[in-house]
Amino acid sequence: MRPTWLEINLAAITHNYELLRAHAPRARVIAVIKANAYGHGAVRVAKHLRDRGVNFFAVATSGEAAELRRAGVEEPLLLLGALHPANAKDAAAARAIPTITTAAAARAFAAAAGEAEVHLKVDSGMGRVGVAPAQLSELVREVEALGLHIGGIYTHFAVADEDRQETERQLELFLAAAANLPRRYPLHAANSAATLANVATELDYVRPGLALYGLSPDMKSGFGLRPALAWKAHPTQVKKPPAGHGVGYGLTYRASGDEWITTLPFGYADGFFRALSNRGWVRYAGGYARVVGRVSMDQTTVSLPEPVEQGEVFTVVSPDMDERTSLTGRARQLDTINYELATALSARLPRVYLEE
């Protein structure tokens, strides 16, 4: 195993799942495990949640669905987004439930899969994909005329973590469109932020993603969530260069002569962003170590006031609210969101699962 690895605390994922269930006790959970379960490992997370009663998952692509099928995950898999007609055969081969937003996509999927299940998506204000509320009834007629089974109709909130009034406006538009249909279909709308805010949790399903892994959608409120991921590493070399000695590409840092330059075996190809060059931090037993020099593709250098052994454990990502090393704190430093940092964690990083 590489001397850098991710530790995934499955007990934390269980805690977060149960907390989300408490916000929506009557709704079924569609656990969102796209992007390799937000970096946590889709196959292992799916099997863990399945053992705790989850029987419906959501991914983003037919490739993600096919990976889960090969690993023995047989539960329904919803493809989020909008199905492109060219992807219909792959979706059918993965036995996935596509999201239909156009008649063309419905025709392509019916030709590939026969009388299979689909979900329809309504654009209630997000503006990305989805049928307009006024056109939902027509799309329902076209889809059912092809013999496809509509297993659900859903929408997605744009600002559930920021603006409750706008979120409730979107919900009203969605529910009004569904109310105009000739019969009732299963409905869902609540993502992590809406579930935690108790918006749309009375519908048939909720779709938590980020919060399952203990990360707050608004990057401010704890909500009682427990981050499930830690990233750790052992140093590969520790040395004391003379004063003025360059460190890293571009020689953007020069050693003082009084510090120990410690090389850690990860880089931007692993998800430790190059933007952290000369400004990022990691933790070790002696405190914090500052990144010095440019972050390379596979290696990162930090400065220490004293030498450490190669068995020293450095914490690259901490499973707490540490402003310097948590995913959320680092996201604030980089002016981005914790979603981006979690999903950027490379598949080549070994994942070690801590059992309950």
Check if the beta carbon of residue 349 is closer than 8 Å to that of residue 4.
yes
Residues 26, 188: Cα–Cα separation, whole Å: 12
Most distant CA pair in the chain, distance: 79
Cβ neighbour number for residue 250 with a 10 Å cutoff: 10
Q: How far is CA 28 from CA 141, 169, 275, in A?
A: 26, 23, 40
Check if the beta carbon of residue 205 is closer than 8 Å to that of residue 56.
yes
Nearest to 57 by CA among 80, 81, 32: 32
Phi/psi of residue 275, nearest 5 degrees: -65, -10
Check if the beta carbon of residue 296 is closer than 8 Å to that of residue 268.
yes
Check if the beta carbon of residue 266 is closer than 8 Å to that of residue 300.
yes
Residues 240, 254: Cα–Cα separation, whole Å: 12
Check if the beta carbon of residue 87 is closer than 8 Å to that of residue 104.
no
Q: Which two tokens stand for residue 172?
A: 């009203």
Residues 256, 246: Cα–Cα separation, whole Å: 10
Check if the beta carbon of residue 217 is closer than 8 Å to that of residue 330.
no
Which residues are known to be catalytic? 34, 249
Burial class (CB in 10 A: 0-12, 13-18, 19+), 342: buried
